[in-house]
């Protein structure tokens, strides 16, 4: 049985907005990672590790996994708490 993880990817350090973080991703787990003796890179004979599927919602990704007999685990995103501050707060003394 194929194994996969379903998650929302984290934004990179070069992104300031959250626009690309709306899609859920289904990514297959590698069966046999090993080290390439020539270059020292991680390699695998499993071609499913290159497949990354994007879905508009978590439910759609789970439905796809169930329909295609894929064992999956869901990684929930961390909720960010926004602290709303005024620019003037930088200059006020407590």
Domain 2-11+21-90 has CATH 3.30.160: yes
What residue segments make up the domains of the chain, in order of their start?
2-11+21-90
Instruction: Report the pLDDT value the prediction gives residue 56, as an integer from 0 to 100.
Output: 94
- Residue 2 in contact with residue 28, Cβ under 8 Å? yes
Q: How far apart are CA 37 and CA 7, in angstroms?
A: 32
Q: What residues in the chain have per-residue pLDDT under 70?
A: 15, 20, 94
Instruction: Report the pLDDT value the prediction gives residue 25, as an integer from 0 to 100.
Output: 94
Instruction: Report the pLDDT value the prediction gives residue 94, as an integer from 0 to 100.
Output: 65
Q: How far apart are CA 49 and CA 33, in angstroms?
A: 10
Beta-strand relationship, 52-55 and 24-28: antiparallel
- Residue 79 in contact with residue 10, Cβ under 8 Å? no
Instruction: Report the pLDDT value the prediction gives residue 83, as an integer from 0 to 100.
Output: 82
Instruction: Report the pLDDT value the prediction gives residue 21, as an integer from 0 to 100.
Output: 76
Enumerate the β-bridge partners of residue 26. Answer: 6, 53
**Phi, then psi, of 23 in degrees rounded to 5:** -90, 145
Please, which contacts does 87-90 make with residues 24 or more away whose CB atoms are closer than 8 Å?
Answer: none
């Amino acid at each position: 049985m194929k194994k996969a993880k379903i998650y929302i990817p984290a934004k990179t350090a070069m992104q300031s907005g959250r626009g690309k973080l709306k899609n859920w991703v289904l990514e297959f787990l590698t069966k046999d990672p090993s080290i390439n003796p020539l270059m020292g890179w991680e390699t695998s004979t499993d071609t499913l590790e290159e497949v990354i599927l994007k879905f508009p919602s978590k439910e759609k990704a789970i439905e796809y996994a169930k329909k295609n007999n894929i064992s999956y685990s869901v990684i929930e995103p961390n909720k960010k708490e926004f602290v709303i501050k005024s620019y003037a707060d930088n200059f006020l003394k407590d």
